[in-house]
Amino acid sequence: MAKEEKYKVDVKAVKTLKDGLKRLEDHQLACRDMRHAWAVEQDYYVEPDQVVNKKLQVIRRVLVCMRGCETRRVERYQLGRYGLDKIAQWYEYLGAYQIPGVPRGVKPSVIVQQESYRRAMERAANAAPGERETAER
């Protein structure tokens, strides 16, 4: 793979991401910047119909983001020889956290931090949302 291909930037995806970030609530942007802060919504429990011949098959746990972005993480475990073995996990995005049009894997943290900085400067200057373009380049 050529060095140019490795660092190729999808300009359209970056613009879509920037525009989408501006529409997110502050708590949703905080999750994108610092990752989710998880709380247990439903502690470990046996999945329905997952006990065969009195033997436990699959255990599930559901976590929810404490910042209020409404993202849920569902984890599945199997009881192994030495404890629980995670066999799967997935995320459920119930709110407006996802940004349509941004390809999976496009997560330039610099762009997210730039938007967080811009909003911090708005708050510091008591400016109306979107009024300051401090971090725009």
Predicted pLDDT of residue 104? 72
Mean pLDDT of 56-82: 90
pTM, full prediction: 0.73
State which amino acid sits at residue 121: M
pLDDT tens, position by position, 18-68: 999 999 999 999 998 999 999 999 999 988 766 656 666 789 999 999 998
Indicate whether 87 pLDDT > 80: yes
In this predicted structure, the answer to whether residue 76 has a pLDDT above a threshold of 90 is yes
Torsion from C-alpha of 5, 7, 13, 19, nearest 10 degrees:
-160
Residues 6+ apart with CB under 8 A from 62: 40, 41, 42, 72, 73, 74, 75
Q: Is residue 46 a contact partner of residue 56, using CB atoms and an 8 Å limit?
A: yes
